[in-house]
Structure 1
Amino acid sequence: MEKVAVEAVENERNPMKVHSVRKPVSRALGTDHFAMNYFELEAGESFSGGLHRHNDQEEVFYVESGTATFEVGLDRETVAVESGELIRFPPGEFQKGYNADGETVEGWALGAPGAGHDWDELQSRAFCPDCEDERTHDVDLADGAFELTCTDCGTTQG
């Protein structure tokens, strides 16, 4: 058994610095098969950055307070998730969650299986300078920074 208070979990922002507060609760609990992160998002901040998908993990977001906006799919359909509501993304579905409102969003990101990401299974949508359009990119974490490789032309940017 492991027990931890959210306040005791050290804040750990992602390399893109797209949020001020991210607490990897699952790491503090030592989970192997389940990911759980607590977030506080100020206006304009996001859970993870740009539109992305996890091909190996389903994700559920719970909004504890405030309203989070999610862009879903390649057409970027927007869905508001309010306090007390949850949203689920199956493996392979593109999504991006953020605070478009201004009121602080407190929320949780839950993922399974796995307590961490398999970087070979994570993809992001980003502008490719060689293709001159938004394309799907494979994501790698190299020396604490994200590196994106276009799946259409192979151009790497980081």
Structure 2
Amino acid sequence: METTRIGNEDSRATAGKVFHPLSEILDTSNVAINYYEVPPGETIGDCYHRHHEQEEVFYVIAGTATFETEDGDVVVDEGELIRFAPGEWQQGMNHESPRLKVLALGAPREEGPTEIRRECPACGERTSAEPETTDNELVYYCGVCGAETGRYSF
């Protein structure tokens, strides 16, 4: 049995967002667990994406999340949950809450292949994106033209 308090693990903060990866500190083997705090106008995670093998469930602890999907936007209020099956495109956003707090659960823990799409300023549309990670930065590049589509320090 493992217990923890959010904030006892290594966390990352980017663009005012707080991200707490909880799987490792809880020593989970079959489920990924992440906690997010997101200010207004920011997204949960960094891009529109889909996991080919992992399903995800998001529980809104505080605030209101809006999830962009292929079928349109879905609003999830405080105390509600939303599930994405493997292969479903999604990205969560805080459009209005002072501080959105979300617990994300994914199974299996190892997410397998993930497709990512981001707005490319050079191409003028949402294109595939390739991430590169260094010790203190995450940079996304357009999969079509190679232009940088996002840079996050942590």
- Under a length normalisation based on structure 2, what TM-score does the superposition of the two structures give? 0.80
Counterpart CA distance in 1 for 2:65 and 2:37 is: 11
Counterpart CA distance in 1 for 2:76 and 2:37 is: 15
Deviations 1:95-119 (A, max 9, x none): 010110132111101101025x44x
Structure 1 match to 2:138: 145
Counterpart CA distance in 2 for 1:19 and 1:61 is: 20
- Under a length normalisation based on structure 1, what TM-score does the superposition of the two structures give? 0.78
Gaps of 5+ in 1: none
Structure 1 match to 2:96: 101
Structure 2 match to 1:70: 67
**1:44 and 1:102 in contact (8 A); partners too:** no
Greater percentage in helix: 1
Gaps of 5+ in 2: 149-154
Greater percentage in strand: 2
Aligned length: 146
**1:69 and 1:81 in contact (8 A); partners too:** yes
Counterpart CA distance in 2 for 1:128 and 1:12 is: 25
Counterpart CA distance in 2 for 1:130 and 1:6 is: 39
Aligned letter for 2:30?
A: H
Q: CA deviation at 1:46?
A: 1.6
Structure 1 match to 2:146: 156
2:25 aligned with 1:24, yes or no? Answer: no
Counterpart CA distance in 2 for 1:7 and 1:132 is: 39
